Structure formats: structure tokens, C-alpha cells
Structure 1
Amino acid sequence: MTADNVLDGVAKDLLDAYRTGDPIAPPRETVDGLDLDGAYRIQQLQEQAFIDAGRTVVGRKIGLTSLAMQQQLGVDSPDFGFFTDDLVFADGADIEVSRFIAPKVEPELAFILGSDLAADATIEDVHAAIASTHLAVEIIDSRVRDWDIRLVDTVADNASCGAVILDRTPVDVSLEDLPKVTAEMSIGGDLAGSGTGSDVMGHPLAPLHWLAGVLGEQGVPLKAGDIVLTGSFCGATPVVAGQRVDVDYGPYGRLSATFI
């Protein structure tokens, strides 16, 4: 079996896991010597399969941008994945837990781009490209059994993306104040985590600068209209049916959803 066939097989297994709810063995155990290039190739094969099925990629998520999340998953660098239009929920939504395998939630900020970003974009270019800032919660999930993941495993599994909860109303916050934004996440009324924008690589837009370069190298530039989640303010917390997640962003508002 060729190396390409092996990567294609893992991509198909991950796609099956979405449908069946049955997680798979860590890709690192299936693909001998799996590296980041191979892991992103597995992710890209799934993205193309989603597109071929009629789904529309509307944005990118950047993960592992806070020390809390890197320590939680035992990695030392960010990663990224994609999400499609059918994976975006509104503030206050009721979300069926059965669509996931082992979901967790984490508070973030999302940015909608008003212009394209090239691979050589400067941080000033990134700031200029932001059309609007939004409150968001990412639901992460793992098609890998028992969340037994290292960096290559989560990359192959679309950076463990499950879905996105997005408040479509823009937040009135200056880009300079983004590091000062606070978030307190409660689940079922109990505090589950908190952090500030500075916990996201020092500034919530720093990961977007990183992503523009990495994606550009792969020939996939960020486009105007893309929604980008730049990483969690704190560690992720599991959720089960019957729980409600609330995130308080202080003067910038609140975001909530109920898992059913």
C-alpha cells in the first residue's frame, strides 16, 4: 500500500467516525512516521470530501494558542482546521449532544475578514483586514478514541473541530483592547474556566497572523468573508446533555447555548 493510500484510508476512517459516532485509533498508530505534512494532508482530504458533498467552508479555527490548551493536550505549537456552514450555531441555540462523540467547549473570539490576507501579510495587514469582531464558543470534539491525541492526531482530525457558536452581532472593541477582553465560562451555573485575550499568544490576532503565513504556504490564502476563531481563553471543559454553557465577556456581552 502506498503512503498516499494510507493517508486516504485514515481520512476515510475519520469521515466514517462523523457518521457512526465510533472513534478511531490515533492516526499516529496507523501511519508509520506520521508528520505534520501528512496530518494536514489527511485533513485536506476530509475538507475536499465535505466540499464534494455540497457543504461550504466558511472559516478556519486556530487551536492550541493558549498555554492552558497546549498543556492540556501535551503539545507546544498551534494548529488549524476548517468548519462548514452547517457547523455554525447562533447564540442561544439548542445543540444536540448526539451529533458529537466527546464534546468540550472553550470561549474564544471570532473575526470576520474584510479583505484577503496573503502569506506574507504583516501584523499591520492583519489588523487592517478585520471587518468585525464577534463573541464565540468553539465546541471541540475528537474522532480519535478517548482523546488520545498528539499534535499530528488532532491536526489529522481537523484540529478537533466540532462546531462553532457565533454571535453575529459585532462587538464594539478596538483592536488595541483585545488583549484586555475577559471571558468567564460557566457550565450548569458553575465556573468552568476564565482568561483574557492576552492568554491567546499575547494578542488574539497573533494567531491569525501565524495562520495567514501557514495557509499561504499551502496555497490556500485567507479570503474576505472568512470567519476565523483564533483560540481559547482557557482550557476546554466537557459538556453533556442537559447542560447550559454561558460565557460572560464583561462589558462586551454574553454568549450561551444549551446542550440537549
Structure 2
Amino acid sequence: MTDRSAQHQELADALLKAYETKEAIPPLRDQMDNMTVDDSYAIQQIQEKALLARGEKVIGRKIGLTSLAMQKVLGVDSPDFGFMTDDARFIGNDDAHFNSKDFLQPRIEPELAFYLKKDLAGPGVTLEDAIDAIDTVHLAIEIVDSRIADWNIHLVDTVADNASYGAIAWSKEPIAMDNLKEDLLNITCKLTVNDEVVGEGTGADVMGHPAAPLQWLANTLGEQGVALEKGQVVLPGSFCAMIAVDAGTSVSADYGKYGTFTIHFD
């Protein structure tokens, strides 16, 4: 094992430990000299393999940094991605209750969830290809969480930390859309926390179109020889900025004519 590989393993182990202890760690960029995004994905992949070895199963992918605002905050010009597993503590449906003690410093984002009806392999995937691969669309709320102290993150930190993934809840029933391309572009969302409006946006706020992140991910993974698989769920990104939550909080995302989706923190 090279010195760099040993560092990857050490930092991956520290992140995995943070899940268990609920004690955040210092920024990874301060622990590895000249840390690159390639280093970060290597650290993320070590964690994925460790969770699979424990018996968990990857059920899909999440895409982050799809808004221009968040890209500017971190000084980047493209999204990032992480993975989701079937750990029951971190999956929910309508009116799901999550234990706030399972998280370190949770925040929430209103999203959509796409189930794929066929494999989607890049490079060369078009927006139309991405839309055509979507089987069903569900209302969703993502819980983002950081194992990095005080959310003091740069791109390399969040990528290594599984794109700051925490948990996901999505509606059991899909929403009906007559024209995916147009309906996804124009869907609206208003986010409330304990009945107070804290954010809102439209499909166009998600990289110009909610299927554009799916296209990007398929092509990015395709460069690595990896395909998105039929039956996987993909979170394309948030309609608005993330909002901090804590115990006793109820969060609702109102998607207009498509309905309202709610989760709770106990």
C-alpha cells in the first residue's frame, strides 16, 4: 500500500468511525497534503466497500451541488455524487420519523427521487436519454449530514464524506406526469419547517432541469466504466438551499398540484 493509499484508508476509517461515535472530525483537507477530488472519491469508495462488507446493499446514488449558489460557495463548477444503502435507519416514506440521535448535524433538502427502468451508461448520454430512463418520479426529502466539524467543508471534504449524505425519504406512490421533460422543468416546491416557509424553487433551479444531473452522473460514472442500474433510485438535487433541523422538527415539501410530502425528527 502506497503512502497515499494508506492515507485514504485512514481517512475513510475516521469517517466510518464518526458515523458510530457521532463525533465530527476536522476537515480532511487539513489532514492530507494537496488533497484532490480523485483522493476524495477513493476515500468514498473505501467506505462503500466497507458498508457492503457489513451486508448493506447500494440502492442508488445521490447528486449534490446542483445549484449555482452552492457551487459558488464551494468554488466549483460541477456537481458531486455519493451512494445510498438500504440501512433501515436512514430510509423512510410518507410521514417517516427519523431519530435525530442517528445524525451529527442534519440539514434537509427538498428533492425528487427517480426510479430507473433501465440501465443508463455513459459516456454520450443525452438529456433525452436520461429522461427516457426514468421509470417513476417520487416526492422526496433528503437529509444531508456532515461528519466534518461545523460543516467546514470544501469540495474535497464533502466528496470524501459521501457527498454529505445522511438519509432519504420518498413517497411510496409515484406522481403522475403527462410530459416528463416539461413537467419536471416546471414543477415547483415550497419547503416549510414547523409550518414556517424556509425555501422554495422550481425544477429549473436544479441544474436547469432535474434530469440534467442524472445525465451528468451517467456520463461521469461511464468514464469510470460504471453504469447506473435498472431499479436504482437517484436523487438529482435540491430545489433550494439546505436548512438545519433538530429534534422535534417537522418538515414538509409542498410540490403544488403533485402534493405535499412530510417527515419528522424525534
On whether the aligned pair clears a TM of 0.5, the verdict is yes
Number of the residue aligned with 1:5: 6
Query: How far 1:131 sits from its partner (Å)?
Result: 0.5
Counterpart of 2:160, as a letter, is A
Partner Cα distance (2:255, 2:103) in 1: 26
SS in 2 for 1:165: strand
CA contact under 8 A between 1:69 and 1:232: conserved in structure 2?
no
1:78 corresponds in structure 2 to 79
Structure-2 residue corresponding to 1:94: 97
SS of 1:116's partner is: coil
Asked whether 1:103 is paired with 2:106, we answer yes
Identity of aligned residues (%): 51
Alignment pair present for 1:143 and 2:143: no
2:9 maps to a residue whose letter is D
Point out the more displaced range, 95-104 or 83-92: 83-92
Between the two proteins, the alignment pairs up a number of residues equal to: 260
In structure 1, the residue matched to 2:243 is: 237
Tell me the SS of whatever aligns to 1:15.
Answer: helix
Residue 195 (structure 1) aligns with: 201
The one-letter code sitting in structure 1 at the alignment partner of 2:151 is W
Q: TM-score, normalised by structure 1?
A: 0.97
Structure 1 match to 2:41: 40
Other-structure match for 1:181: 187
Q: Is the 8 A contact 2:121 2:226 kept in 1?
A: no
1:94 Cα offset (Å): 1.0
Contact 2:130 2:214 in 1 (8 A): yes
Q: Is the 8 A contact 2:109 2:141 kept in 1?
A: yes
- The list of structure 1 runs, each at least 4 consecutive aligned residues, that deviate by more than 3 angstroms after superposition, is 71-76
Segment of structure 1 superposing worse, 214-223 or 240-249:
214-223
CA distance in 2, matches of 1:51, 1:57: 8
Structure 1 counterpart SS, 2:208: coil
Aligned to 1:257: 263
The alpha-carbon deviation at position 72 of structure 1 amounts to 4.8
Structure 2 unaligned spans of 5+: none
Paired position in structure 1 for 2:25: 24
Provide TM-score, normalisation by structure 2. Answer: 0.95
SS for the counterpart of 1:126 is helix
Q: Distance in 1 between matches of 2:108 and 2:72?
A: 16
User: What value does the CA root-mean-square deviation take over the aligned residues?
Assistant: 1.1
Shift of 1:91: 1.4
- Mean Cα displacement is larger for which, 85-94 or 143-152? 85-94
2: distance between equivalents of 1:137 and 1:55? 22
Distance 1:22 1:75 in 2: 28
CA distance in 2, matches of 1:148, 1:75: 16
Q: Distance in 2 between matches of 1:106 and 1:74?
A: 20
Q: Distance in 2 between matches of 1:165 and 1:71?
A: 27
Residue 74 of structure 1, CA deviation:
4.9
- Which region of structure 1 is more displaced relative to structure 2, 166-175 or 68-77? 68-77
Q: What is the distance in 1 between the residues matched to 2:260 and 2:86?
A: 22
Partner SS, residue 45 of structure 1: helix
2:216 aligned residue (204, 207, 210): 210
C-alpha distance in structure 2 between counterparts of 1:88 and 1:250, whole Å: 24
